[in-house]
Homo-oligomer: A and B are copies of this chain.
Amino acid sequence: MTQHDHEPQGVSRRRLVSTVGAAGATGMAVGATGGAVAQAVARTDRKAPTPLSSVGSTRVPFHGKHQAGITTPLQAFGHLLAFDLVSGAGRKQAAKLLKRWSRTARELMAGESTADSTGIALDAGPSSLSVTFGFGRSFFSRTGLEKERPRELAPLPDFSGDALDKDLSNGDLWVQIGCNDGLVAFDALREIQRQADGTARLRWQMNGFTRTPGATKRPMTMRNLMGQVDGTNNPKRSEEDFDRRIFVPSSSSPAWMADGSYAVVRRIRMLLDTWDKESLSEQEKVIGRRKSDGAPLTGGTEDTDPDLEKRDADGSPAIAADAHVRVTAPATNGGAAMLRRPFSYHDGFRDDGAPDAGLLFIAWQADPQRGFVPVQRKLDRGDALSRFIRHEASGLFAVPGGPSKGEYVGQRLLEG
């Protein structure tokens, strides 16, 4: 299916940015809009002699074994949305919506204009846009698909430190948008939201951000709003058991979740005014890592495993008993592992004057009962960091495997 099937009058963003230097050759091929395209290219080219950088031109594949947005490198902008089916909408309507959403995701991720484009993303490349879709526990009762509900969607346990806002938690459907350009991301958000009209209504929405590509040389791990290097202990794709820990096996049950993953989403507010008043050494003691480079307090570099047995000259543990890095260490959690891929968020200031900011924690795993849950149980009991954070929202979503060509996300569930 070519883009022309869906955009008889639109201007292809991909073509718009790719015809530079070849406007003569391709300008003829774009039909009625060719003149305008060639003109726009010539004009922007004249204004900015440097080519569109890889930031704009990078495309994330929509089709594949797994959905995009899980092992995709973190993007600068993120949007999380949850929807509830409206009264009267069931399996059939949900299937139509996922079909619309999938088509839009495929087109936008390829840098193409959609049939009902808002125009916000015009001129820009896809900028590593990814759109990821998931199903919440409530989706299955609403659509009569209880039999297909994975046991992995059992409600997360209550944690003593939780202060969850139900209106900002869970939901029938979940969409994660990531993009290195804020306008392309917003365009995707608007199109996704408009296409839900009449079938599902927005339950909650959160906006996040991380580093801009090229702003730092540190590629895999980012810093969070506490200033700490975040994500060091993430499983690496090069590790033998990465796939087994993060993705549902092809042969598992239910069959429609083959090659999928489970996303735990937590909105974790950081008490930054309290945190920032602590000394550097106190902050490092809470985490168990150096702030400057993320190396464990027992030495080495960021990649060095913390030496949890090491003791200081006075006999006390070099990494405190309640240090975050000790409590979360895979070695102390029976090898539990999840792939954390969070965005930071900052929604201004609360009525009490504190910053409304923190982490949109997103963790991916083949089974939350062996990933997030045991680790969070331990954190809940004795993590020095808990004084400085509040879990304010929570969601758990089943994210099916990636679509094959011609397939839409969730088709194996909805037409299975």
Binding site for B on A (CB under 8 A): 11, 17, 20, 33, 36, 39-41, 43-45, 47-48, 51-56, 76-77, 117-125, 127, 180-184, 186-187, 190, 194, 201-202, 205-207, 209-220, 222-228, 272, 276, 290-293, 295, 301-303, 344, 346-349, 353, 355, 357
Interchain Cβ contacts under 8 Å between A and B, 16 examples = A52-B216, A53-B53, A53-B213, A56-B215, A118-B226, A119-B223, A119-B291, A120-B226, A122-B227, A123-B217, A182-B211, A183-B222, A186-B346, A186-B357, A202-B349, A202-B353
Q: Cβ of A215 and Cβ of B301 under 8 Å apart?
A: no
Q: A182-B76, A205-B349, A292-B122 are in contact. Are A215 and B55 (CB under 8 A)?
A: yes
Q: Cβ of A214 and Cβ of B53 under 8 Å apart?
A: yes
Give Cα A291 to B9, complex, Å.
13
Give Cα A39 to B29, complex, Å.
53
**Chain B neighbourhood of A52, CB < 8 A:** 214-217
Q: Cβ of A214 and Cβ of B43 under 8 Å apart?
A: no
**Chain B neighbourhood of A194, CB < 8 A:** 276
Q: Cβ of B348 and Cβ of A212 under 8 Å apart?
A: no
Q: Cβ of A124 and Cβ of B43 under 8 Å apart?
A: no
Q: Which of B39, B180, B206, B216 contacts A212 (CB 8 A)?
A: B180
Contacts A52-B216, A119-B228, A182-B344 known; list 5 others, CB within 8 Å: A43-B293, A47-B220, A120-B225, A183-B215, A201-B353
Q: Cβ of A276 and Cβ of B215 under 8 Å apart?
A: no
Most buried by B among A53, A54, A295: A53
Give Cα A213 to B50, complex, Å.
11
Q: Which of B43, B120, B186, B290 contacts A303 (CB 8 A)?
A: B43
Give Cα A237 to B230, complex, Å.
43
Give Cα A40 to B300, complex, Å.
11
Give Cα A205 to B344, complex, Å.
18
A348 nearest CB across to chain B (Å): 5
Give Cα A415 to B273, complex, Å.
32
A79 nearest CB across to chain B (Å): 9
Q: Cβ of B348 and Cβ of A39 under 8 Å apart?
A: no
Q: Which of B118, B214, B218, B347 contacts A347 (CB 8 A)?
A: B347
A6 nearest CB across to chain B (Å): 15
**Chain B neighbourhood of A226, CB < 8 A:** 118-120
Most buried by B among A36, A220, A293, A353: A293
Q: Which of B180, B216, B225 contacts A215 (CB 8 A)?
A: B180
The list of the 7 closest CB pairs from A to B, nearest first, reads A119-B227, A53-B214, A55-B214, A181-B215, A182-B209, A44-B217, A56-B215
Q: Cβ of B217 and Cβ of A45 under 8 Å apart?
A: yes
Q: Cβ of B353 and Cβ of A212 under 8 Å apart?
A: no
**Chain B neighbourhood of A123, CB < 8 A:** 216-218, 223
**Chain B neighbourhood of A125, CB < 8 A:** 215-216
Give Cα A189 to B336, complex, Å.
37
Q: Cβ of B207 and Cβ of A36 under 8 Å apart?
A: no
Q: Cβ of A301 and Cβ of B39 under 8 Å apart?
A: yes
Q: Cβ of B119 and Cβ of A44 under 8 Å apart?
A: no
Q: Cβ of A210 and Cβ of B186 under 8 Å apart?
A: no
Give Cα A301 to B47, complex, Å.
13
Give Cα A190 to B11, complex, Å.
42
A207 nearest CB across to chain B (Å): 6
Give Cα A4 to B303, complex, Å.
29
Give Cα A55 to B194, complex, Å.
33
Chain B, Cβ-Cβ closest to A118: B227
Q: Cβ of B344 and Cβ of A347 under 8 Å apart?
A: no
**Chain B neighbourhood of A117, CB < 8 A:** 227
**Chain B neighbourhood of A225, CB < 8 A:** 120, 183, 186
**Chain B neighbourhood of A48, CB < 8 A:** 217-219
Give Cα A227 to B290, complex, Å.
45
